[in-house]
Structure 1
Amino acid sequence: MTAKEKIDRLRAELHQHNYNYYVLNAPEISDKEFDDKMHELQNLEKEHPEYQDENSPTMRVGSDLNKNFTQVAHKYPMLSLGNTYSENEVTDFYDRVKKTLNEDFEICCELKYDGTSISLTYEDGKLIRAVTRGDGEKGDDVTDNVKTIRTIPLVLHGNYPRSFEIRGEILMPWESFEMLNREREAREEPLFANPRNAASGTLKSQNSAVVASRKLDAYLYYLLGEELPCDGHYENLQMAGSWGFKISEHTKKASSLEEVFEYINYWDTERKNLPVATDGIVLKVNSLRQQKNLGFTAKSPRWAIAYKFQAERALTRLNKVSYQVGRTGAVTPVANLDPVQLSGTVVKRASLHNADIIEGLDLHIGDMVYVEKGGEIIPKITGVDKNARGMLLGEKVRFITHCPECGNRLIRYEGEAAHYCPNETACPPQIKGRIEHFISRKAMNIDGLGPETVDMFYRLGLIKDTADLYDLKADDIKNLDRMGEKSAENIINGIAASKEVPFERVLFALGIRFVGETVAKKIAKSFTDIEELINTDLENLKNIDEIGEKIAQSIITYFSNPFNRELVGRLKAAGLQLFRKEEDLSGYTDKLTGQSIVISGVFTHHSRDEYKELIEKNGGKNVGSISAKTSFILAGENMGPAKLEKAQKLGVKIMSEDEFLTLIS
């Protein structure tokens, strides 16, 4: 047998034994026999480097070489799921799907594993790339680290598609987590707060040998590609299991709302017996065709939702209340507590939200308070144990009247719960908060800058607003604390590169109140440049889809401020994209100008979201309900009977999918 044949045989055997042990939990050889085969393969590969293979089982061991991560764009965006915390909200989700589809459907019920999301790409049966979620649009390439996780196959078997992506969660089992923290405690190193943080920190290690030593696990739960074997999501997962992936055995299909609740109620208790952390249930419409028709919002799919288990609660002492000022001037009270363990983390601070919450709780310093994690994420105070009050009860907590940072008197707008500091141009946390928002990933995405650097530049008087960033020079910052020549150059280059960020993201970066990513996109499609937006009126803004009185008034107020107009003028002079480029305008027509269109039913050629985009690109307006002003209804199959009846009653035209596509050519 030649060296090449021996290497190929050993690789095939080790891949199979690895699958038997880590995925099937059914080993066929002893650990010593496995290790002996691995050592034999390592020696042969060392002697014959010409037969190197990136997916050899020896890659599981990891390397001591440090490697910086590169960012990779996701072929399909990795959106987060909408969260729900009550059975009523689950019912609402189910009813919305039922009403929109108007046909039978199944729900795939899955455990929501509490780890770090990963996207794996396979071509010709081999793992070629592993990328973290990142900001949803792009993430870090952590392929070398992922190859050390033994439940992730490097080479597939069976009848798999030529090219596909599979997503899942990388986890640190409770046993590995507790062992890791014992080791760190012995070395007097800081402990990881919970398995999720430990898994995330491990995956971002620049030493893959460290990753290999920490025994991470992975469950895969979503398959994407052009040539998937089935229309059913559940069925695709079962197929993926036959190719070598670790798929949760606890995934189940439900044909009714009652079956969904049976699944939720069972796992609400039983999850505590699992070897890994979970924090809820994920519900997905099973049919990929139906998923496509339900489409997406700006942040999450309409065909899936995450049900979060009820939060754990702990009792601890309130020591004092401090106040934080955000970039919009909103003042948030924060409770400072005796440390307490809650849902796997140590909690020392919790949100009190606003003055009404404080008053309703009748809080006093020294009170024993109940702390919960909202959806097991954000700590908040939900109650007071008034029976625990003694003679030494502290003073009653009253909301402050003046800004803790600049001393200005706080104001409260009609209909709002929050108090605001009105000193937009001179209140330090507001200024720094706006700059931090401006440089963030989803806005200008300026590499090298973070909150600490912004704070240092502000304290030293180098920047007083976002436009000042574009006046910085490398010589201004290269000799600052923890700042070398290379770091300074990276920051200046990142600032220069931000001048290519498109109009919609610059609008979002400005930090106009109530103007999030989705609204910024709508505005950018409706105005050719910033001057046209500055000079528009309230009614014109309200005519834009999804922009109501509150958002429109906020935009008018922002641009009526001379300081903001001057700032925008300086950003424009610095070369930012405060206008639509020609390529942004390509594909736009006026064929549907002045027409209000309702979409209803299930479609064949495009998803509902794609039709909404086509309507906007051709000058039309999407509206949610039928009225006498509706121009026509774009109707797919199974149009809702109530909408059909109303359309007939009002004499509104009903247009088929093919007719619509012909209309817009």
Structure 2
Amino acid sequence: MTRGSPRSRIRELRRLIRYHNDRYYRDDAPVIPDAEYDALFRELARLEEAHPELFDPDSPTQRVGAEPVETFGTVVRELPMLSLQNAFGEGELREFDARIRRHLESRGYSGDRGRVDPFAYTAEVKIDGLAVELTYEKGAFVRGATRGDGVRGEDVTANLKTIPDVPLAIPRNSSAGPVPGVLDVRGEIFMDRNDFAGLNRGRERLGEAAFANPRNAAAGSVRQLDPRVTASRRLRLWVYGIGRIDPGASAPPPFGPLPFATHRDVLDRLHAWGFPVNRDGTRGFLDIEGVIAFYREVEAGKDSLPYEIDGIVVKVDELGVQRELGEVARSPRWAIAAKFSPDRAETTVEEIVVSVGRTGTLTPVAILSPVTVRGVKVRRATLHNQDNVDAKDIRVGDRVVIQRAGDVIPEVVESLSAKSGAPGRGAPFRLPDRCPICGSAVTRVAGEAAHRCTGTDCVARRKESLRHFVSKNAMDIDGLGPKVLSTLVDEGLVAEPADLYRLEREPLAGLDRLGEKSADNLVRAVERSRTPTLGRFLFALGIPHVGEHLSGVLARRFGTIEAIRTAAPEELSAVHEVGPEVARSIRDYFESAEGRRTVDHLLENRTLTIRPEPAAEGVFAGKTFLFTGTLGLPRAKAKEIVRRGGGTVATAISRRVDYLVAGENPGSKIAKAKEMGIRVISEREFLEGDFGGGA
């Protein structure tokens, strides 16, 4: 082959373009003008088109060039990407270890002790990025998707192809072993701190909003509809495991005839196949005490790393033990995310304002001197209600401690000014006796901490009610965010939910916040919502005390909206989770002029066609849970686990509760539960799903 042959020229062009990509995207130090780079790229594309026999899936031309899309497709997985349970602190790591031992020993499992210790662990730093799955068929990258809900993710293949760390093909290197027929590789897309800072500097120069933190920047970059935008961002990938692996396109996933025995084997093989593995951030340990020492070491040095982390991930190393342990509530028993202590910061309360919710509830909100917590600039924190403000004695001008753990809304932990008895503090805060929006009287609900606006035509209530109606877990009307809804109300186009189904394209397209394309998308989204299940419809109405789960329970019990709206209080109270207060709230809603008008207008002329609620089934079917104290996982996540398992979640202690799940600092509910004969279980017992005989 001569030096000037197409093969050698293509090889040289690919080498040059990869070099210049690194200088441009990684080093921010291009060495040739854009026009010269474009000429090289076009020459390579022409040669590859003229010589298809020289096609290489890892060529630079295969990374960039896809056209923008209007929306992402959906990828449905055969093997879900499970979520991890959380551990906070060393004690919970030791409990994780003890739980594994109890589970295995109760089943008489000993493992292949001649090869590995079944209780050995691998610990890895937990990158704070966007989880993705890369699918390879016969060594070629064919699909990439976000994690989504674990089963369904967004198809972002074109965008992932633009990231240099993502191999477009697995090299057939004999030293790395045979390439599987099908391989799902799982990892985290992230952005280094320096690259994140550079990206924000560039956005500020252009007058664009800065990203709050590297994770948001990475996630936003991957979810761009135009792959060229993704390509312009300096995104990185580290892989941490596999999903399906089918060595001969026939083995059952995920534990067929695997070519490795441990998680460390998996990482070594992925590295040999050319995938980026964070070897410096991964360690093996023979016991949990070694893991804990690593946890301390990483937490102490996390700020010196070039990337952001929010903990470590601990996994049982032997794959056979992983298989024996299995999973519970869509989380593996053999792995846990050990999170670092919640980040706190001190700041000053500049003002306390009042917001009005969909049910008219007035909520005090602290306006804070801006302070950054875990990379997010915090300016507001809810104060919940008057009782909470009084208990913590929070006043304007106070120095306070705020806390932000994970994605939880920041909260005011305490007032340092109150604690120290600082002189010259502001006056105690009091909620107004008139609604700050409509001027109607405010009353405190008997037996509750809530203060509510009594005005039925309050604009704030109307907007919040509509916001709830269109939300994802209610009618799920995409494209109707708070600002668009506010505009629709202010322009007189929407005054009640039924008005949404009378919207037409032309008036929408003329609004400042929309346009023809957005108007078309919105009209289609509204049309798609015309056939909700009864449970969704009931939840969308926003009846006080009737949440998403109870809506489903009522829907399955009564079958139709007419049966629910005409049910007597005693019929409603006969439902396992409905007490007198909830029954009264339901009756009050359907007997009110506003409630009757809302439902009648939604049902007239078949505006909506309501479908029956599917029957409940699952491991928690027929059981009612109540949570108390501080849990290791978000309260919303715990409730979702129960609901997906067919169970119900109570809001207060009563004899209808089967299990009280107690976290840290559980309070008085423990004693009340024992008095009522309700079984009290720990969060760990709840997550294992083994309650030892029921209530």
| Same fold by TM-score greater than 0.5 | yes
- Asked if structure 1 preserves the Cα contact closer than 8 Å seen for 2:10 and 2:44, the reply is no
- Written as runs of structure 1 = structure 2, the 5 A alignment for 1:322-341 is 322-341=353-372
- Asked if structure 2 preserves the Cα contact closer than 8 Å seen for 1:326 and 1:433, the reply is yes
Per the alignment, residue 488 of structure 1 pairs with 519
Shift of 1:303: 6.3
Per the alignment, residue 599 of structure 2 pairs with 568
Per the alignment, residue 227 of structure 1 pairs with 253
Shift of 1:255: 6.7
Per the alignment, residue 161 of structure 1 pairs with 180
1:454-475: CA deviation from partner (whole Å, max 9, x where unpaired): 1111223322222221232334
1:91-117: CA deviation from partner (whole Å, max 9, x where unpaired): 666666666664467565443221223
The range that moved more, 3-12 or 193-202, is: 3-12
Shift of 1:164: 3.9
Per the alignment, residue 58 of structure 1 pairs with 60
Q: Is 1:294 aligned to 2:333, yes or no?
A: no
Q: Any idea what SS the aligned residue of 1:461 has?
A: coil
Separation in structure 2 between the aligned mates of residue 231 and residue 544 of structure 1, nearest angstrom: 51
Shift of 1:428: 2.9
Change beyond 3 A, Cα 1:364–1:438: closer
Residue segments in structure 2 that go unaligned for 5+ positions in a row: 110-117, 172-176, 245-251, 625-640, 648-655, 661-676, 678-687
Separation in structure 1 between the aligned mates of residue 513 and residue 406 of structure 2, nearest angstrom: 38
TM-score (norm. length: structure 1) = 0.73
Per the alignment, residue 150 of structure 1 pairs with 164
Separation in structure 2 between the aligned mates of residue 201 and residue 533 of structure 1, nearest angstrom: 43
Shift of 1:450: 1.8
Change beyond 3 A, Cα 1:361–1:549: same
Separation in structure 1 between the aligned mates of residue 398 and residue 309 of structure 2, nearest angstrom: 32
Shift of 1:279: 1.5
The range that moved more, 129-138 or 146-155, is: 129-138
Separation in structure 2 between the aligned mates of residue 108 and residue 521 of structure 1, nearest angstrom: 42
Shift of 1:37: 13
TM-score (norm. length: structure 2) = 0.70
- Written as runs of structure 1 = structure 2, the 5 A alignment for 1:158-307 is 158-187=177-206, 189-225=208-244, 226-228=252-254, 229=258, 235-249=265-279, 250-252=281-283, 258-283=289-314, 287-290=321-324, 292-296=326-330, 305-307=336-338
Change beyond 3 A, Cα 1:356–1:189: same
Q: 1:578 aligns with which of 610, 621, 643?
A: 610
Separation in structure 1 between the aligned mates of residue 403 and residue 689 of structure 2, nearest angstrom: 41
Q: Any idea what SS the aligned residue of 1:378 has?
A: coil
Q: Is 1:45 aligned to 2:45, yes or no?
A: yes
Q: Is 1:411 aligned to 2:421, yes or no?
A: no
Q: Any idea what SS the aligned residue of 2:499 has?
A: helix
Q: 2:401 aligns with which of 354, 367, 370?
A: 370
Aligned partner letter, 1:440: S
- Asked if structure 1 preserves the Cα contact closer than 8 Å seen for 2:162 and 2:231, the reply is yes
Per the alignment, residue 355 of structure 1 pairs with 386
Shift of 1:354: 3.0
Q: Any idea what SS the aligned residue of 1:397 has?
A: coil
Change beyond 3 A, Cα 1:188–1:575: closer
Separation in structure 2 between the aligned mates of residue 396 and residue 122 of structure 1, nearest angstrom: 62
- Asked if structure 1 preserves the Cα contact closer than 8 Å seen for 2:159 and 2:230, the reply is yes
1:625-657: CA deviation from partner (whole Å, max 9, x where unpaired): 9xx9xxxxxxxxxx99994xx79xx9xxxxxxx
Q: 1:397 aligns with which of 426, 429, 432?
A: 429
Shift of 1:436: 1.7
Q: Any idea what SS the aligned residue of 2:529 has?
A: helix
Per the alignment, residue 129 of structure 2 pairs with 115
1:117-158: CA deviation from partner (whole Å, max 9, x where unpaired): 323222222222223345666554332222222222111244
Q: Any idea what SS the aligned residue of 2:299 has?
A: helix
1:558-602: CA deviation from partner (whole Å, max 9, x where unpaired): 765444355334434435342328xx57x99xxxxx9999xxxxx
1:383-417: CA deviation from partner (whole Å, max 9, x where unpaired): 33439987764333334444433433142453x5x
Per the alignment, residue 129 of structure 1 pairs with 143
Change beyond 3 A, Cα 1:424–1:87: farther
Change beyond 3 A, Cα 1:356–1:517: closer
Change beyond 3 A, Cα 1:149–1:462: same
Q: 1:74 aligns with which of 61, 73, 76?
A: 76
- Asked if structure 2 preserves the Cα contact closer than 8 Å seen for 1:499 and 1:577, the reply is yes
Per the alignment, residue 310 of structure 1 pairs with 341
- Asked if structure 2 preserves the Cα contact closer than 8 Å seen for 1:119 and 1:132, the reply is yes
Change beyond 3 A, Cα 1:518–1:38: farther
Per the alignment, residue 654 of structure 1 pairs with none
The range that moved more, 171-180 or 478-487, is: 478-487
Change beyond 3 A, Cα 1:525–1:84: farther
Separation in structure 2 between the aligned mates of residue 91 and residue 577 of structure 1, nearest angstrom: 53
Per the alignment, residue 479 of structure 2 pairs with 448
Separation in structure 1 between the aligned mates of residue 591 and residue 350 of structure 2, nearest angstrom: 41
1:515-553: CA deviation from partner (whole Å, max 9, x where unpaired): 5555555555555433344456778778878x4649964
Change beyond 3 A, Cα 1:304–1:558: farther
The range that moved more, 66-75 or 444-453, is: 66-75
Separation in structure 2 between the aligned mates of residue 37 and residue 459 of structure 1, nearest angstrom: 51
Separation in structure 2 between the aligned mates of residue 342 and residue 596 of structure 1, nearest angstrom: 39
Separation in structure 1 between the aligned mates of residue 595 and residue 333 of structure 2, nearest angstrom: 37
- Asked if structure 1 preserves the Cα contact closer than 8 Å seen for 2:573 and 2:580, the reply is no
Aligned partner letter, 2:272: S
Separation in structure 2 between the aligned mates of residue 537 and residue 54 of structure 1, nearest angstrom: 71
Separation in structure 1 between the aligned mates of residue 80 and residue 607 of structure 2, nearest angstrom: 29
Separation in structure 2 between the aligned mates of residue 611 and residue 146 of structure 1, nearest angstrom: 31
Per the alignment, residue 669 of structure 2 pairs with none
Aligned partner letter, 1:227: P
- Asked if structure 2 preserves the Cα contact closer than 8 Å seen for 1:15 and 1:57, the reply is no
Separation in structure 2 between the aligned mates of residue 410 and residue 263 of structure 1, nearest angstrom: 54
Q: Is 1:320 aligned to 2:351, yes or no?
A: yes
Change beyond 3 A, Cα 1:295–1:396: closer
- Asked if structure 2 preserves the Cα contact closer than 8 Å seen for 1:60 and 1:212, the reply is no
Shift of 1:7: 8.2
- Asked if structure 1 preserves the Cα contact closer than 8 Å seen for 2:383 and 2:412, the reply is yes
Q: Any idea what SS the aligned residue of 2:277 has?
A: coil
Separation in structure 2 between the aligned mates of residue 223 and residue 206 of structure 1, nearest angstrom: 27
Aligned partner letter, 1:245: F
Separation in structure 2 between the aligned mates of residue 154 and residue 56 of structure 1, nearest angstrom: 5
Change beyond 3 A, Cα 1:120–1:360: same
Per the alignment, residue 591 of structure 1 pairs with none
Aligned partner letter, 1:72: T
Change beyond 3 A, Cα 1:611–1:255: farther
Q: Any idea what SS the aligned residue of 2:354 has?
A: strand
Q: Any idea what SS the aligned residue of 1:405 has?
A: coil
